């Protein structure tokens, strides 16, 4: 009995810790020709704050810490004096430090894959700097009632509407070094955010259609700076996140619009993924009187949406080791009661 128990205990830890998976994805799974996406400005225009109302606005104004007005153009002539880059690795570290000093929580670099540009975009930059800013965890966790849920959703909307500043100021810093650069965020983006962020090693694609980072899960707003400044690219990382989503459908079950698919990935536009039905998502969001209050469940229900602490980091490490570890993590997430959504409002079906 003791021997059997000891063997079972040993087998449990072997299954948990040994790196049994050698074929983790670590990037987009592309099959066949990728269908380039159209410009997203018509989709996102209604969500943007006035200063971010589409690519026609070429200059953005911000308020400084002393209430001064700061204007940053989306595109501008570069400095005539070009900085000579002899060490791309050192320059990459410098750019990442600048981005973090401006407010970025995560920064990655990759070569710009032309497949991830929107259709017809005349953009020929070689590199992309990807910036992730984390939404505070207290705004994106299970809420005690719908009043708190409403306040959290409003704050989340404000958070995303105010995005892009880091990218704009980083692009300006690159212009001053004599190299072209352009900031990209939501309706004034010329590139697709998630595949570029995956290429830059920031995370993986989730069932909910979002970039999921190991540090912050799906609660990051992403902006990008494309440039010709010589940089050292990072590599995509095999983190076990997408494989965890294959075992978990909590976001699909929680989504009130039923816009997130269950089951396995499918081939969509030349990429293997879970295609989120954006028409269902936006219809639910806009047509129901109180629907928007309940529209953070794709993030709050995700097992990767946790505080960045030691326990979570251990979970990140285990998820990259074996399918058993990922299965166990999903089950523990259920047992601990994470991602529950308290809903006291009457259900509404958009007409």
**pLDDT at position 3 over 80:** no
Least trusted range by pLDDT, from 64-78, 85-99, 155-169, 294-308: 64-78
Q: Pinpoint the alpha helices (H) of the chain.
A: 2-17, 41-44, 88-101, 146-161, 165-175, 193-199, 241-247, 250-254, 278-287, 297-300, 310-319, 323-335
pLDDT, residue 89, reads 96
Averaged pLDDT for residues 85-114: 96
Confidence of residue 288 (pLDDT cuts 50, 70, 90): low
Averaged pLDDT for residues 24-40: 64
What token pair was written down for 317?
Answer: 């490490």
Quick: pLDDT tens for 312-340. Answer: 788 878 887 778 888 888 888 877 767 66
pLDDT, residue 21, reads 57
Confidence of residue 140 (pLDDT cuts 50, 70, 90): confident
Quick: pLDDT tens for 10-30. Answer: 444 444 455 555 556 666 666
Least trusted range by pLDDT, from 1-15, 153-167, 176-190, 292-306: 1-15
Is 11 buried (19+), middle (13-18) or exposed (0-12) by CB count in 10 A?
exposed
Long-range contact pairs involving 282-291 (C-beta distance under 8 Å, separation at least 24): 282/43, 283/257, 283/350, 284/256, 284/257, 284/259, 284/350, 285/257, 287/350, 287/351, 288/348, 288/349, 288/350, 289/348, 290/146, 290/345, 290/348, 291/256, 291/257, 291/348, 291/350
Least trusted range by pLDDT, from 96-110, 181-195, 335-349: 335-349
Distance separating alpha carbons of residues 116 and 229, to the nearest angstrom: 19
CB 179 within 8 A of CB 168: no
Distance separating alpha carbons of residues 68 and 125, to the nearest angstrom: 33
CB 225 within 8 A of CB 235: no
Strand duo 69-73 + 204-205: pairing: unpaired
Q: In what order do the strands lie in the sheet with 266-268?
A: 29-30, 271-273, 266-268
**pLDDT at position 91 over 80:** yes
Quick: pLDDT tens for 231-242. Answer: 999 999 888 888
Q: In what order do the strands lie in the sheet with 106-111?
A: 106-111, 127-134, 220-227, 181-184
**pLDDT at position 180 over 70:** yes
At 3 the three-state DSSP class reads helix
Closest CA to 262 of 273, 253, 270: 253
Strand duo 29-30 + 271-273: pairing: antiparallel
Closest CA to 294 of 156, 159, 163, 161: 156
Number of residues that make up the chain: 351
Which tops the pLDDT comparison, 165 or 31? 165
pLDDT, residue 290, reads 61
pLDDT, residue 31, reads 64
Which tops the pLDDT comparison, 167 or 296? 167
Averaged pLDDT for residues 140-155: 73
Closest CA to 209 of 142, 263, 274, 125: 274
Quick: pLDDT tens for 201-225. Answer: 999 999 999 999 999 999 999 999 9
The rounded percent of the chain whose pLDDT value lies above 70 is: 72
pLDDT, residue 273, reads 86
Torsion angle of alpha carbons 141, 320, 222, 245, nearest 10°? -60
pLDDT, residue 12, reads 43
């Amino acid at each position: 009995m003791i021997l059997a128990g000891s063997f079972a205990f040993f087998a449990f830890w072997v299954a948990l810790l040994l790196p049994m998976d050698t074929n983790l994805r670590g990037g987009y799974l592309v099959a066949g020709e990728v269908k380039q996406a159209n410009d997203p400005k018509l989709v996102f225009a209604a969500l943007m704050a006035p200063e971010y109302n589409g690519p026609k606005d070429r200059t953005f104004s911000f308020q400084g810490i002393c209430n001064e007005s700061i204007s940053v153009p989306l595109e501008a002539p570069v400095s005539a004096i070009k900085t000579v880059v002899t060490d791309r690795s050192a320059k990459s570290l410098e750019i990442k430090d600048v981005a973090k000093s401006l407010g970025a929580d995560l920064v990655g670099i990759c070569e710009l894959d032309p497949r991830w540009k929107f259709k017809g975009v005349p953009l020929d930059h070689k590199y992309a700097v990807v910036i992730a800013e984390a939404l505070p965890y207290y705004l994106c966790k299970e809420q005690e009632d719908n009043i708190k849920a409403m306040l959290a959703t409003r704050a989340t909307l404000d958070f995303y509407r105010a995005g892009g500043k880091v990218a704009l100021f980083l692009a300006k810093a690159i212009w001053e070094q004599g190299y072209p650069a352009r900031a990209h965020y939501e309706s004034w983006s010329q590139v697709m955010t998630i595949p570029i962020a995956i290429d830059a090693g920031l995370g993986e694609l989730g069932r909910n259609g979002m970039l999921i980072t190991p540090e912050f899960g799906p609660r990051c707003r992403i902006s990008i700076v494309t440039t010709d400044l010589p940089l050292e690219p990072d590599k995509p990382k095999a983190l076990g996140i997408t494989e965890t989503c294959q075992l978990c459908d909590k976001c699909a079950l929680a989504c009130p619009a039923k816009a997130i698919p269950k089951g396995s990935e499918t081939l969509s536009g030349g990429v293997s993924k879970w295609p989120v039905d954006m028409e269902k998502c936006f219809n639910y969001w806009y047509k129901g009187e109180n629907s928007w209050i309940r529209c953070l469940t794709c993030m709050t229900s995700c097992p990767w949406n946790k505080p960045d602490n030691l326990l979570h980091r251990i979970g990140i490490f285990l998820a990259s080791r074996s399918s058993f570890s990922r299965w166990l993590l999903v089950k523990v997430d259920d047992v601990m009661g994470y991602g529950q959504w308290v809903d006291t409002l009457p259900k509404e079906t958009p007409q």
